[in-house]
Amino acid sequence: MCFRPPTATRTVKCPDCGALNQAVKKNCTKCQADLSVTKINPVNWFTIPVNDLEKAKTFYEAVFGYALAAHDAGTMRMAVFPAQEGIMGTNGSLVQANGYKPAEEGCVVYLAVNDIPKTLAKIEENGGKILQPQMAMGDLGYLAQFRDCEGNRVGLYSPAAITKLNPVNWFMLPVHDLAKAKRFYEKALSYSLTINKMGSLSMNWFPLLPKTAGSSGSLVQAEGYTPSENGCAVYLSVNDIAKALEKVAANGGQILQPQTDLGGCGCIAHFLDCEGNRVGLYAYQAK
């Protein structure tokens, strides 16, 4: 996975097979997993599915002031959100393609803004709907949720103090059985999830490295959070997609899209987790 510092001097345990390796080695001596991957947080990318790309692009640009860049990746038409290197959060896109369906259920991505009330007002002005008004989370800041012009449920996040952030600050994968889902992700992707509770939300948090590329998020079990194969998808970073898919299948998941080469951009795949959420995998280089 993605949390192995390339310059460490201690012994490194390979999360793919458990073998112990000297940190100076580039690959695991047992399974050849890459041990020198740049540090990155769990989420590398997100997609928000749409039926009308131009309409959705206009909505997000009007509400958030983003300039979304048009991009075609094979059969996928995309409008890519902006991102800056060296600051927290991650990036992603709107996507119009076969099999990508907007949904109010399923994964929720949280877009970072400085002023949630003003953003919610713009959302309503541009054809969206407020699903959850601004809610305080103590020192962690504020959040809200809305339905966009395509029918996707999307979150807003505002930090307690204004800071530079990339579009996505957080994600939530809804589950019915939190303990079962926690075991699945820990076994299939070798993460160590932290149990947390925030008001009525029972959560298991994925790991987070401060001042590091990518974002983090959580599994969440709460009223109104329903797993779905449709709607937003987050892409979790791995070193070896083929091995990750093997672990997914071995632990009760289902492969929806096998490893797909994106050319110079790396490779992706999709799977259905044990709760019924569609989740993406991303690797910079194919194994």
CA distance 17 to 108: 31
| pTM (predicted TM-score) | 0.75
11 token code pair = 């012994």
Q: Residue 255 pairs with which residues in a beta bridge? A: 271
Q: Give CA separation, 225 vs 133, 158, 228, in Å.
A: 16, 21, 10
Mean pLDDT of the chain: 83
Question: What pLDDT does 85 receive?
Answer: 73
Topology of the domain comprising 43-248 = 2,3-Dihydroxybiphenyl 1,2-Dioxygenase; domain 1 (3.10.180)
**What average pLDDT does the segment 16-26 reach?**
60
pLDDT in tens, 246-263: 999 999 999 999 998 887
Residue 57 has which token pair? 């692009």
Give the span between the Cα atoms of 122 and 60, in whole angstroms: 10
Q: Which of 3-12, 36-45, 246-255, 259-268 has the lowest mean pLDDT?
A: 3-12
Q: Which two tokens stand for residue 168?
A: 């996505």
The dihedral formed by the CA atoms of 43, 111, 232 and 77, expressed in degrees to the nearest 10: -90
Would you place residue 161 in the very low, low, confident or very high pLDDT band (cuts 50, 70, 90)? low
**Where are the chain's structural domains?**
1-39, 43-248
Ranked by mean pLDDT, the top range of 12-21, 80-89, 100-109 is 100-109
Q: How far is CA 104 from the centre of its chain?
A: 16
Going by pLDDT thresholds of 50, 70 and 90, the confidence category of residue 201 is confident
CA gap 74, 61 in Å, rounded: 24
pLDDT at 23 over 60: no
